[in-house]
Amino acid sequence: MAQWFNTPFYKTTAWKRCRRSFIEHRQGVCEKCGSAGWHVHHKIYLTETNINDPEITLSFDNLELLCDSCHSKVHHPRKSSVRDDVMFDSNGDLVAKH
């Protein structure tokens, strides 16, 4: 998530290239659920003290590709409207997962 100290970083060519390359590397697949992903998430969150460390900001080891739903779960676990124990059946009804 962009904050006052990391907003300039997310506009850099280095980040844009890294992000694009990482999405291609992960073949556009969310690492948590397997659906289409486009959020390149930093496992170790960016802070004022590590924002200039490329091992944190640009290393594939610190990145994961997430879909909207999984990204929301990571950042807002208590506010997530997505549950893992239910799904929609072919009629569109909410049912328990087996």
Q: Any idea where the domains of the chain sit in the sequence? A: 7-96
This prediction has a pTM of 0.75
Each residue's pLDDT tens digit, 19-63: 999 999 999 999 999 999 999 999 999 999 999 999 999 999 999
CA–CA dist 76, 62 (Å, integer): 20
> Contact 75/65 with Cβ under 8 angstroms?
no
Q: Where are the alpha helices (DSSP H) in the chain?
A: 7-10, 13-25, 54-57, 68-75
List the structure tokens of 96: 């328990």
What's the distance, CA 97 to chain centroid? 24
Q: Residue 46: its pLDDT value, please?
A: 94
pLDDT score, position 66? 96
Task: Please state, in angstroms and rounded to a whole number, the distance separating the CA atoms of residues 98 and 92.
Answer: 16
Backbone angles phi, psi at 64, to 5 degrees: -145, 145
